Amino acid sequence: MGSVVFTIAIAAPWVGVVVAVLLPASAGTVARAAAWATGTGALAAIAARLLAVLAGQQPPSGGLWAGDAVAVLMLTLVLWLSAVIQMFALRYLRGDLRQRWFAVWANALTGSTVVMVCAGTVVTFTIGWIAAGVSLVFLLHTYGSLPQARQGVRRTGLSFLIADAPLVVAVLVLTLAAGRDIRLAEVGSVSATLPEGIVVAVALLLVVAALGRSAQIPFHRWLPATLSAPTPVSALLHAGVVNAGAILVIRFSPLIAPVAAAMLVIFAAGAATLVYATAVRLVKPDVKGRLVFSTAGQMGFMMMAVGLGAFAAAIFHLIAHALYKSALFLSAGTGVANHAEQRTWPAPEPSPRSRTVAAVLLATALPVAVLVAAKGMLAPQATPASLALLGFVAFTAAVAVAAGLRRSMTAATLTAAAIGLTVLGFSYVAFLGIFEHLITPAASIQPASPWWLLIPAALLLGLELLVNSPRTASRMHSALYARTLAESTVSAPTRIGPARARQKEAV
The confidence score (pLDDT) of residue 134 equals 92
Do 240 and 232 form a contact (C-beta atoms < 8 A)?
no
Dump pLDDT digits (tens) for 167-181.
Answer: 999 999 999 988 888
Mean pLDDT score, 273-297: 81
The confidence score (pLDDT) of residue 496 equals 42
Question: How many CA atoms within 13 Å lie on the side-chain side of 362?
Answer: 23
Q: What is the number of other CB atoms lying within 10 angstroms of the CB of residue 469?
A: 12
pLDDT band at 491 (very low <50, low <70, confident <90, very high): low
Q: Where are the beta strands (DSSP E) in 214-358?
A: none
Determine the Cα–Cα distance for residues 466 and 461; give it in Å rounded to an integer: 9
The confidence score (pLDDT) of residue 70 equals 80
Determine the Cα–Cα distance for residues 249 and 440; give it in Å rounded to an integer: 14
Determine the Cα–Cα distance for residues 332 and 287; give it in Å rounded to an integer: 7
The confidence score (pLDDT) of residue 141 equals 87
Residue 196 clears pLDDT 70, i.e. is over it:
yes
The confidence score (pLDDT) of residue 431 equals 80
pTM for this entry? 0.84
pLDDT band at 142 (very low <50, low <70, confident <90, very high): confident
Determine the Cα–Cα distance for residues 41 and 44; give it in Å rounded to an integer: 5
Determine the Cα–Cα distance for residues 286 and 275; give it in Å rounded to an integer: 20
Mean pLDDT score, 232-258: 87
Question: Tell me, what amino acid is at 48?
Answer: A
Closest listed residue to residue 35, CA positions, set 54, 7, 64, 15: 15
Query: Which parts of 55-146 fold into alpha helices (H)?
Result: 69-92, 99-118, 122-140
Residue 215 clears pLDDT 50, i.e. is over it:
yes
The angle that helices 69-92 and 27-54 make with each other, rounded to 10 degrees, is 160
